[in-house]
Amino acid sequence: MEYLNSVFIFFAGLWAGTINSVVGSGTLVTFPVLIALGYAPVTASISNAMGLVAGNAAGAWGYRKELAGRGRALLRLLPASLLGGITGAYLLLHLPEKVFGYAAPVLIIVALLMVVFQPRLQQWVRNREQNPEHALRDRSHGILLVVLVYLAGVYGGYFVAAQGILLVGILGVFMAGTIQNANAMKNILVLGVNIVAAASYLLFAFGRISWAAVGLIAVSSLIGGVIGSKVGRRLSPAVLRGVIFTLGIVALGFMIANLFK
């Protein structure tokens, strides 16, 4: 791997690890960089997901205080998230690579829409906190919550981008607590999905992994996860969303261009 390419990947992983612990959608930073550097889409997705596990772990640890009193809810939701991750990883590994080539641009668009509309989603969460009499109750919507977390896991196992934003929205609407509580639970659920997906890739797609990219993203995202969990809340969400959106459009352009080669 050329030195300059390594620098690009390292700093992409650093930024992705930082924003994953605070906002989510860090894959929309690392995935476009890998695609732009010439990685095949599935190899880029697999290597990126494996590398970001370290950053996910750092972010989850950094938000551990916000998990107080959430153990029972996590025990109920984590199996659904893990099963979804296994399902998504299976689809990625067994569907023809052309399917991912066509699906990835659509998924990038979906992820970008989640990023763009995140402020409105967060406002819904805040309104729910301020008006508990209108809140949806955990018990009466428990099955729907588990199903939605499973589907988010499928999405994350197949295409990592913006899984965190999707989960924050689901948890914020269907569970009591603050958005920081939802974000802390999101970090654990995303970590679970990425771990089972990474294990699947190790067992069934070893030859499609770029270990150089995995190593660079793992180290840099770990550092970024620590930074994000401590000082990331001070960063401007608008600036972060703007950069994510720009890089996502770049990735979309590369993906569409590859379809016509």
Give the model confidence (pLDDT) of 39-90 as tens digits. 988 899 899 989 999 988 888 888 788 788 778 888 889 999 999 999 998 9
What is the distance between the alpha carbons of residues 223 and 98, in angstroms, rounded to a whole number?
A: 34
Structure tokens that stand for 147 in this block = 């199903």
Q: What pLDDT is stored for residue 136 in this prediction?
A: 46
Q: What pLDDT is stored for residue 133 in this prediction?
A: 52
Q: Tokens 């668009």, residue?
A: 109
Q: What pLDDT is stored for residue 23 in this prediction?
A: 66
Q: What pLDDT is stored for residue 81 in this prediction?
A: 93
Instruction: Give pLDDT < 50 ranges for the chain.
Output: 134-140
- 149 with 80: CB under 8 angstroms? yes
Q: What is the dihedral of CA 83, 55, 10, 215, to 10 degrees?
A: -60
Q: Can you give the residue range of the structural domain that contains 100?
A: 3-259
Q: What pLDDT is stored for residue 126 in this prediction?
A: 61
Q: What pLDDT is stored for residue 93 in this prediction?
A: 86
Q: Tokens 């990023």, residue?
A: 115
Q: How many structural domains does the chain have?
A: 1
Q: What pLDDT is stored for residue 222 in this prediction?
A: 92
Distance, C-alpha 86 to centroid of its chain: 15
What is the distance between the alpha carbons of residues 197 and 89, in angstroms, rounded to a whole number?
A: 5
What is the distance between the alpha carbons of residues 14 and 213, in angstroms, rounded to a whole number?
A: 13
Provide the residue type at 67 as one letter.
L
